[in-house]
Every structure is written in C-alpha cells, then in structure tokens.
Amino acid sequence: MRTVRFGVIGCGFISKLRHFPELELNPQAQICAVCDADESRASKVARKYEATVYTNYKDLLECAEVEAVVICLPPHLHPEVAVYALERGVHVMCEKPMATSLIEAERMIDAAERTGTKLMIGFNQRFVPSHTYAYQLIRSGAIGRITGFHSVFGHSGPEHWSLDGNRSFYFNSKQLPFGVLGDLSIHKIDLIRYLLQDECTEINGILAHTGQKQADVYDYSVLSLRMAGGAVGTITSSWSYALQEHTTIVYGENGNLYMECDDQFPLRMMLRNQDAVTYKIPAIMAYERQREERSGVIHGFIDAIVNDKPVPVSGRDGYMALKAILAGYDSALTGKTISL
C-alpha cells in the first residue's frame, strides 16, 4: 500500500484534536516531521509519533523529505508557509482562513497550479453527516427551489481552546484581522456555498464587541447575503455565547431542512402538509468520534494525493469564502452593501 510522508506545521489545539489523530488512524499516512515555534509543543507530539522536531518550517521542508504538510498556524502565516511548500512540490492541507488577503490567497492557488501540487482548505463542516445528507436532499429537489437560509455558529471563545489562551492570535488584529468572521463565519459561508452550490453576490455586515474584553477584533458578526441563484439568508457568529450553537436551516419552495437544530435528530426535513422526516445520524459534535475517518479532512486529502483526484475542498473554495468575509467586514465598517 502506498503511504504518504507527512509533516505537521503548528502543534496547537486543532492539530492535536483533529489532524494528528486522523493521520494516526489512516494506514496511508506516516507522521515524519512536526514543527512549532514552541519546541516543547513539537517535542511532545514528536515523541508519540517518533517524528523529527523542527522549530522552523523552512528546515522541515528542506530536510524532512515529506510529500505533504498540514498547516495549522495563525492565519497571517498560512500563505508564506504554503507557497514555500507548494513551490517545493509538497502537497498542502491548510487550515482556514487560508490567508488574510485575496492577493495572498491567489498566490497560494497560483503556486499549486504552477507546480501541479494539491492545495486543500480545512473546511471540515462539509463532511458533517447532516450537511452531506442535506446536500443530497437539496440536489434531489426534495425541498424544491431554495429561497432562503439561516446559519449560526457560536461558542464561548477561542481563549478556551487555543494553547495560548487569552494571548492567542485569535485576539490579535495583525494575525487574524477580521476576528470572529475569519474564525467562525467563514465556515458557514463555505457551508452555504456547498449546500446551495451557489455564490454570494451581495453582502451586508454588522460587527460588535460583546464579550471578549481582551480582543482588539470583533467577537460578534451578523451577515446578510444574496446568492446568485436568488436565495437570501443570514449567517451569525459569536465568541460570546455561553453554549455552543451550530444550527443551519435551508428554506425551499416545498419545505425546510433543519441541520443540527435537535441533538437527537441532527437532520430533519419538513415538507408542506406532511409529517417531519428525521434522519438518525451522528450530530456535529459526535460525528468525529464515531467514524474511522473522523472529520473526513485528512481522509479526503490523502485520497486525493494517492489516487490523484481533485481535493474535496479546493483553494478556490478557500478564496471565495475569504472574499465574502472580507466583503462582510468592509460592509460593517462602511455601512454599505458590498457587491462581489
């Protein structure tokens, strides 16, 4: 069986929660090298996987002979590291947001195209069972033409998970300039693009500081979007909810799809004049623990490399979601509707 030699750059919260366990579970992955500016973090995971430790990503890419890297760094570093890897023929799975500007995102896409290497963006929510089933139901025409949507992603804030707590890059406008928009709203923008197979053409944004006293970035965002196909809807994100919320509703001419609105039934379809149809599938917070491939991100990335297939979430997907976020930010600051 063909195996892929992997390096992981950034040994913080998300790589430990998701990428290391998924690489470990995948028989086609070999964790060969790890990198973190904090050597003790890198050494801790390296011991477990018998990997070589680096504190500088360039050294890893020059010396470790890896075929692919997973980039889990503060977002302002993603483009520099990704382009360095892609230009050396190394495939890249980069966490979201892929960059903090469209020019840098374009550089990443261009580097992947020029070198024939794969660039995937870590929008894991596409692989959540309620979302993949809803995608199929929408494609089958079950709820008819889509007219609207409403999606919410909120929790108590990244200080509760980032290894740097209150001092984390999440609260630093130089490292993540658009705050909660780039952390949470961007997931739901990608989800709506995926579910509707449609692009946002117009956006309005409202931003607020509601709870994160230490943040110099906004922690609450409400976006209203118009899609090319005519649907309109809202995406709300917050770092100041006491409890996590992950709900999405898609409205069609014949009925509604409710995703993650009920723990027992993560997907519910209500059609006009009919009883509700429920789907007993793992809910968003449980699904990664119940499937061998877990979130599906690493599984999809390795499948694309080994079988030379397109990655399931492309650089262009990352670019389009970033474009919408930047437009939402611009709208909130100027008070104007932004056309994309």
Ligand X SMILES: NC(=O)c1ccc[n+]([C@@H]2O[C@H](COP(=O)([O-])OP(=O)(O)OC[C@H]3O[C@@H](n4cnc5c(N)ncnc54)[C@H](O)[C@@H]3O)[C@@H](O)[C@H]2O)c1
Minimum CB distance to ligand X, residue 45 (Å): 10
Q: Report in angstroms how near the CB of residue 65 gets to ligand X at its nearest.
A: 19
Choice between 69 and 72, CB closer to ligand X? 72
Which CB atom, from 82 or from 269, has the smaller least distance to ligand X?
82
- Contacting residues toward ligand X, per CB under 6 A: 10-14, 35-38, 41, 57, 72-75, 77, 95-96, 122, 124, 161-164, 168, 183
- Considering the complex, what minimum distance in angstroms separates the CB of residue 327 from ligand X? 19
Output 126 or 268, the one with its CB closest to ligand X: 126
Q: In the complex, what is the shortest distance from the CB of residue 275 to ligand X, in angstroms, rounded to a whole number?
A: 34
Q: Which residues contact 207 (CB under 8 A, 6 or more apart)?
A: 179, 181, 218, 220, 221, 329, 332, 333
Minimum gap (Å) between residue 166 Cβ and ligand X: 11
Token pair 């020029």: residue: 114
Beta carbon of residue 185, minimum distance to ligand X (angstroms, whole number): 12
Select 77 or 225, whichever has its Cβ closest to ligand X.
77
Q: Residue type for 309, please?
A: K
CB-side neighbour CA atoms (13 Å) of 234: 9
Task: Count CA atoms closer than 13 A to 309's CA, side-chain side.
Answer: 11
Report, in Å, the least distance between residue 276 CB and ligand X. Answer: 29
Nearer to ligand X, 117 or 124 (CB): 124
Q: β-pairing, 29-35 with 4-9? A: parallel
Work out how close the CB of 339 gets to ligand X at its nearest, in angstroms, rounded to a whole number. 27
Which is closer to ligand X, CB of 222 or CB of 325? 325
Nearer to ligand X, 123 or 251 (CB): 123
Give the span between the Cα atoms of 22 and 7, in whole angstroms. Answer: 13
Closest-approach residue to ligand X (CB): 12
Q: Which residue lies nearer to ligand X by CB, 43 or 278? A: 43
Name the residue among 291, 9, 8, 17 with its Cα closest to residue 160.
Answer: 17
